[in-house]
Amino acid sequence: MPLSNLPAFAPDLVADLERLGTERVDTPVIQPAEPFLDMAGEDLRRRIFLTESETGKSLCLRPEFTIPVCLRHIETAMGTPRRYAYLGEVFRQRREGANEFYQAGIEDLGETDVARADARAVRDAMTVLENRLPGVTLSVVLGDQSVFEAVVAACGLPAGWQKRLVHAFGNQAQLQRLMADLSSPTPAGVFGPEVERLAILGKLDDEAALIAHIDETMEATGYSTNASRSPADIARRLREKMELANTRLDARTLALLREFLALELSLAEAPAALAAFADKAGLALGEALARFERRVSALRAAGADPARIAYRAAFGRPLDYYTGLVFEIAPAGSALVLAGGGRYDRLLTLLGARERIPAVGFSLWLDRIQSLTEAAA
């Protein structure tokens, strides 16, 4: 959507965001590509418009605002808590609609009351949309990656499999493929020909012999002078791959995961349902469920009725930096996402912040809001 097509309601929307106690910020359209390629996730990575500087540095057109706003916060050394609002163009390949379009939103950095900040993000997104779309019934769906992480950890899977499953959260097809691999009665095969060869030789069973073999191979090939990892690091990774390849879920654990992922009900009913699931399964989910219940209470206190919000245990969003709450808002009966957001407590540290900064935010798709406004006119 070219600049001349900035929606007429944009100034009013900016005023809505400022009334919510935010500071308006802007970020450059040309961004360093590395943070998005490393942290945003596969879905966004394959849709980024990449280019290079004259020195060969990878750059991209701004595909979203969360990472640029966080980088700006770190670079300007601003204190927290801080609430930033933005409105500007983003550029990404889309299956439908223009590849250049407008987004607005809020990034809430440094609020230590996590439940309050989560509730405020959901409520503010609902409030802004209700102001722009009077008469349109909105549907809100909420998930929680941290609850899924707690369930996977309580099931006792190896750390490598926990990481893979958590990484797939929100991608139903990928998650089902991984669970099918875990439930297969026989291994699908060892991870790569080198691991398979070492397994046949029996070297993976003896860590000292494996390290010595790798060291000798690196010396013989001259690789040791340029290696970024030691023989011990490589040996540990090879053994981890073997462990992953040979881990299988028992029928009970697989059934528990599937039962959890099938949970879909009103957010008002979700705390009791999750507690009942944990008790029945014998899983220790205490802290994750306590955080979840605090958020539901905070939503009530903020004026957002949990009975109007759907909770789906399997719901996630296709961005790798989320760590807890995730949510989307659409017109009732439609898949057209108008707003989406979530919590990303690890992102600022990964981007270079010297201390951990809790964070949550949401984005609004202005072209989609505009299409609904025009249809109602």
Written as six digits, the tokens of 322 are: 């989320």
Same domain, 26 and 127: yes
Q: Would you place residue 277 in the very low, low, confident or very high pLDDT band (cuts 50, 70, 90)?
A: very high
Let me know if residue 54 belongs to a domain: yes
> Which residues does 76 contact at the CB level (< 8 Å), separation at least 6?
none
Same domain, 14 and 136: yes
As a whole-number percent, the residues of the chain with pLDDT over 70 amount to 84
Same domain, 26 and 139: yes
Contact 80, 357 (CB under 8 A): yes
Same domain, 214 and 344: no
Let me know if residue 104 belongs to a domain: yes
Let me know if residue 84 belongs to a domain: yes
pLDDT tens figures, 217-228 = 767 666 654 555
Domain that holds residue 74: 3-149+281-376
Same domain, 30 and 128: yes
Let me know if residue 227 belongs to a domain: yes
Let me know if residue 111 belongs to a domain: yes
Tally of domains within the chain: 2
For residue 202, is pLDDT > 60?
no
> Which residues does 264 contact at the CB level (< 8 Å), separation at least 6?
310, 311, 312, 313, 314
Dihedral angle over CA of 5, 6, 9, 12, nearest 10: -160
Same domain, 123 and 199: no
Same domain, 229 and 290: no
Q: Would you place residue 191 in the very low, low, confident or very high pLDDT band (cuts 50, 70, 90)?
A: very low
Q: Using CA atoms, how far apart are residues 47 and 40, in angstroms rounded to an integer?
A: 11
pTM as predicted: 0.83
Query: Phi and psi of 144, rounded to 5°?
Result: -150, 105
Same domain, 130 and 26: yes
Same domain, 19 and 77: yes
Same domain, 215 and 301: no
Written as six digits, the tokens of 266 are: 């009103």
Let me know if residue 363 belongs to a domain: yes
Around Cβ 29, how many Cβ atoms within 10 Å? 13
For residue 133, is pLDDT > 70?
yes
Q: Using CA atoms, how far apart are residues 20 and 364, in angstroms rounded to an integer?
A: 15
Same domain, 224 and 353: no
Written as six digits, the tokens of 305 are: 């009725």
Let me know if residue 274 belongs to a domain: no
Task: Describe the chain by its helix, strand, coil percentages, rounded to 5.
Answer: 50, 15, 35
Of 151, 167, 144, 168, residue with least CA distance to 249: 151
Around Cβ 95, how many Cβ atoms within 10 Å? 5
Same domain, 231 and 341: no
Beta-bridge mates of residue 58: 52
DSSP state of 80: S
- Report the CATH number at residue 362: 3.30.930.10
Let me know if residue 24 belongs to a domain: yes
